[in-house]
Amino acid sequence: MGSIGIVRTEYFTPDKRPWPLESGATLPEITVAYETYGKLNSAGDNAILICHALTGDAHAAGWHKETDRVPGWWDPLIGPGRTFDTDKFFVICSNVLGSCNGTTGPASLNPETGRPYAMSFPVITIRDMVHVQKALLDYLGVKHLVTVAGGSMGGMQVLEWAIHYPDYLSSAIPIATCIRLSAQTIAYNQTQREAIMLDPNWQGGEYYDSQSPEQGLALARMVGIITYKSIKAWDQKFARAFSGTKPEDYYDFAQRFEVENYLRYQGRKLVSRFDANAYLILTKAMDLHDIGYPFENYHEALSRIKVPLLSVGVSSDFLYPPYQQKEIVKALLEAGGQAVYQEVNSPYGHDGFLIEFQQQSKIIGDFLAKIA
């Protein structure tokens, strides 16, 4: 059981130009950033696709260089002898369409204008992300997926995979996600977009030659981060720790509680690695997430799923609460499918799927062993 070691991000440009989108709009061309771990067998049927969340990227496992401070975002689950065992499986993770970590998104140059798309980048959907991933898998020679797994926005991709490519996979593992985005989550996303657009540096998205809307993006991230934790996790970590040192600091408007300093730090951290327009486009794609489309009803959508599905919830998640993952199982069973719900018992809220590796390893490992 060990790390996959040093890995690198690769790039793929599909021949299909222009690239068609669900909306009817097209992109002149697209590029996809991806990483692979392990080896594809000659039958091309030992592949596993990992799907990332809102601000994630293709770097799911391993290290880009030996001096990296942290490995890929799901590293404890991916490697030789690990849950997604790279001695057995060919594991792929790609940056989603609309993002800013190597795959085409609003910050990419539009070849037709030589300028970044900015907000001329079309609205995309989770299904658009999935179709791009399918093109990548075809290019890599993958004939069949053992499973598709991912949390949050990654879990939305997993569900669309199971519905739109039902014969291409043997199982699906959506985690901390939902059949359709709830009104509350749309509301949270909206406030995050409005924070970005309130920043005077946003300028309708045309900031690539000037100062970027760092404060707006940082504020968006701060709101997001609150929703990724839980009230008890925050209290365990910070309670009412205060950063002032003198007694009078307590009554100084500019002084802050440590939880505020932490949030500001997290906000700034995202700014250094993420594009504000991509944040707008991806949260909008999440808002549009609704597996019912374009079917008559959910039953019709779900009855397309032919493989066992493992739905995983995090007990303290209040953004995508466990009832939403149970809803997936209930609806799928009603549609004649096979599904099971498992819960990660954690105080960490939605972030649990990026923290609770031991529990997920057990739950996912047992599921994969059973379906093998």
Q: Which is nearer to a copy of itself, 30 or 148 (CB)?
A: 30
The DSSP annotation for 198-221 comes to: HSTT-GGG--TTS---HHHHHHHH
Q: State yes or no: residue 137 binds a copy of itself (CB under 8 A).
A: no
Q: What are phi and psi of 32, to 5 degrees?
A: -125, 125
Query: Which one of residues 256, 304, 326, 330 is an interface residue with a copy of itself (CB under 8 A)?
Result: 256
Query: Which one of residues 41, 191, 243, 358 is an interface residue with a copy of itself (CB under 8 A)?
Result: 191
Query: Which one of residues 194, 336, 345, 358 is an interface residue with a copy of itself (CB under 8 A)?
Result: 194
Q: Which is nearer to a copy of itself, 65 or 246 (CB)?
A: 246
Candidate list 94, 152, 212, 346, residue with the active-site label: 152
Q: Are 64 and 70 in contact (CB under 8 A)?
A: no
Structure tokens belonging to residue 211:
């100062």
Query: Which one of residues 83, 212, 215, 360 is an interface residue with a copy of itself (CB under 8 A)?
Result: 215
CB of 188 to a copy of itself, least distance (A): 6
What would the x/- binding string for a copy of itself be over residues 224 to 253, using CB under 8 A? --x--xxx--xx-xxxx-------x-xxxx
Q: Where do runs of H (alpha helix) occur along 91-152?
A: 126-140
Please report, as residue ranges, which positions from 285 to 324 form the binding site for a copy of itself (by CB under 8 A).
287-288, 290, 318, 321
| # residues contacting a copy of itself (CB under 8 A) | 55
Query: Which one of residues 80, 119, 139, 164 is an interface residue with a copy of itself (CB under 8 A)?
Result: 119
First to last CA, the chain: 20
Query: Which one of residues 5, 44, 80, 122 is an interface residue with a copy of itself (CB under 8 A)?
Result: 122
Please report, as residue ranges, which positions from 11 to 40 form the binding site for a copy of itself (by CB under 8 A).
22-25
Q: How many CA atoms lie within 13 A of 47 on its CB side?
A: 24
Q: Are 205 and 180 in contact (CB under 8 A)?
A: no
- 317 part of the active site: yes
CB of 372 to a copy of itself, least distance (A): 37
Piece of 79-87, 144-152, 154-162, 281-289 that binds a copy of itself (CB under 8 A): 281-289
CA dist., res. 334 & res. 332, Å (int) = 5
- 290 part of the active site: no
Burial class of residue 43 (count of CB atoms within 10 Å of its CB; 0-12, 13-18, 19+): exposed
Q: Where do runs of H (alpha helix) occur along the chain?
A: 126-140, 153-164, 183-198, 214-228, 231-237, 258-271, 276-287, 298-302, 322-334, 357-371
Q: State yes or no: residue 66 binds a copy of itself (CB under 8 A).
A: no
Q: State yes or no: residue 188 binds a copy of itself (CB under 8 A).
A: yes
The separation between CA 94 and the C-alpha centre of its own chain, rounded to angstroms, equals 10
CA dist., res. 24 & res. 292, Å (int) = 19
CA dist., res. 93 & res. 303, Å (int) = 27
Q: Who contacts 198 (Cβ-Cβ below 8 Å, separation ≥6)?
A: 216
Q: State yes or no: residue 159 binds a copy of itself (CB under 8 A).
A: no
- 15 part of the active site: no
Catalytic residues: 152, 317, 350
Task: Please report, as ranges, the residues that interact with a copy of itself according to CB under 8 A.
Answer: 22-25, 119, 122-123, 180-184, 186-188, 190-191, 194-195, 198-200, 215-216, 219, 222-223, 226, 229-231, 234-235, 237-240, 248, 250-253, 256-257, 259-260, 263, 280-281, 284, 287-288, 290, 318, 321
